[in-house]
Amino acid sequence: MHVKPIARLLVLCFATGCVQMMFSWPAYSQAWVPEKGEGSVTLSYQNLVGYDHFDFTGARQNVGTDRAQSTSLEFEYGVTDKLAFNADVVYVASKYNGELPEGPFDFDGRYHGAFQDAHFQVRYNVRKNPVVLTPFLSVTVPTHHYETSGHSATGRDFYELLLGINAGKQLTRISPNLYVQGRYSFAILKHFAGLNLNRSNFDSEIGWVATRRVTLRLLASWQKTYGGLKAPIEFEEPGSERFEFHDRVLQANYFRLGGGVTYSLRRNFDVNVAYGGSVSGLNTLAVGGLAIGFSWRFSRGLDISKFHNGPSVGFMT
């Protein structure tokens, strides 16, 4: 199949885009905190596919296929009735199928897996009425110096500091079973090659407790990166220093939508299923896929804090 020159450049632009867009943790809001001594353990699996690539104008090109599967293990614990601690670790396996392999793992069309990043977060509830307000601080720590080059790269290998706030409210005037919550974060990264890679993210969720066991969720996610390279107009020739690291420093912006359902098998055990995908974007992959999660809550009863335990698909950085 003949690929036009602009398409060839675009497919190289997004070498690690699929993996980068997968993991923006947490992928959902956490306005409510567990009570002291309560918490949860969540095991999640995600399978995402990136077919199209957004350039700096938002135009889409269908060049090659990036696939990434991941598993994550998250622990949440209520230190006090207001202070909660979260930690998770992510394992990624990705592969590329297309005419333009770039990195060392792109040539055989097989999955290559490795641990990616660990995330640690504290959040503190400062208000419960009329709106729940919970500021947070989070850090991203690479587990090791993994592969960052190519379509099948594990990730970007950057340390990050996130500052933000969660907000949530039960919409009792409309329905006692309806709630809404949102999360804004500002990520601070060390400049890389003189580039500012700081970004803003906003994630939102509308949920409806349909029955005693079933909760339905509508999910949305937005990202704006304040620096980085625009694709493909700010890249140098293949082989240059800037071209070699361009896939780590894209000025990635996106808007994504998705939906999910949580089914409570028992009072303290949930199964979560979600699907999501890209609506629009700049300098990033158009992704879509499925997530499945299993959450065990060591709590004294059921409350709205369980709502944030489900996975969100494709709402990642």
Radius of gyration of the chain (CA): 20
d(CA 72, CA 137): 20
Among the ranges given (115-129, 231-245, 256-270), the one the predictor scored with the smallest mean pLDDT: 231-245
3-class state of residue 285 by DSSP: strand
What is the per-residue pLDDT for 311?
52
pLDDT at 5 over 60: no
pLDDT at 317 over 50: no
150 or 234: which leads in pLDDT: 150
Domains of the chain: 5-309 (2.40.160.40)
4 or 247: which leads in pLDDT: 247
132-176, pLDDT tens digit by residue? 999 999 999 999 999 887 778 888 899 999 999 999 999 988 988
In this structure, the dihedral spanned by the alpha carbons of residues 259, 264, 267 and 270, taken in order and rounded to 10 degrees, is -70
d(CA 179, CA 215): 11
* Contacts (Cβ under 8 Å, ≥6 apart) of 175: 208
Q: Please state, for a pLDDT cut of 70, what percent of the chain lies above it.
A: 81
* Distance set, CA 78 to CA 51, 82, 253, 266, 269 (Å): 40, 8, 34, 21, 18
What is the per-residue pLDDT for 88?
95
Task: Give the end-to-end CA distance of the chain in Å, rounded to a whole number.
Answer: 31
